[in-house]
């Protein structure tokens, strides 16, 4: 019994890393401008968010960390009455700065759909999801 608990504890701890990081209703209304064009928008300020990028000596999946940072940035930007966020740099040690903007009807054309809705399926049945490129 003790060995089972000892072996399951690390698995449960690693799995707990993403609990509680969800896109709230207000955050669903905030888009991400991956192309960086927010020239038609009003700058509302900067949001800096952070998550754990490693657990002990184990590095977490980079895509999952980036996704959680985006979700948190969208949630925080919604509190500022922003409707668009834009990354201001790459994540460093699980922390990333985002610009918060109010674009209204001038939303950037390449802003992503909310993370809870997958992109439309391609004709071959494969789904694609936007990620930040270099």
Structural domain includes residue 13: no
Q: For position 58, which CATH number holds?
A: 3.30.1660.10
Highest mean pLDDT among 6-15, 41-50, 54-63, 115-124: 41-50
pTM listed for this prediction: 0.66
- 97 inside domain: yes
> Can you give the pLDDT at residue 118?
46
Q: How many domains does the chain divide into?
A: 1
Domain that holds residue 86: 31-116
Distance, in Å, from the CA atom of 130 to the CA atom of 13, rounded to the nearest integer, reads 29
On whether residue 3 sits in a domain, the answer given is: no
**In the numeric block, which tokens belong to residue 9?**
């504890």
In a domain, 81, yes or no: yes
Average pLDDT over residues 25-53: 93
24 within some domain: no
Predicted pLDDT at 86: 96
Residue whose C-alpha is closest to residue 67's, from 22, 35, 109: 22
The answer as to whether 129 is a domain residue is no
């Amino acid at each position: 019994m003790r060995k089972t608990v000892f072996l399951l504890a690390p698995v449960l701890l690693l799995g707990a890393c993403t609990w509680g990081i969800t896109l709230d209703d207000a955050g669903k209304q905030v888009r991400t401008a991956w192309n960086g064009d927010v020239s038609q928008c009003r700058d509302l300020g900067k949001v800096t968010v952070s998550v754990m990028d490693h657990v002990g000596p184990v590095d977490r999946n980079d895509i999952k960390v980036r996704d959680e940072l985006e979700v948190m940035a969208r949630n925080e930007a919604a509190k500022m009455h922003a409707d668009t966020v834009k990354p201001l740099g790459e994540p460093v040690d699980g922390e990333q700065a985002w610009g918060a903007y109010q674009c209204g009807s001038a939303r950037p054309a390449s802003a992503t759909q909310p993370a809870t809705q997958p992109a439309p399926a391609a004709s071959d049945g494969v789904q694609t999801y936007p990620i930040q490129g270099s």
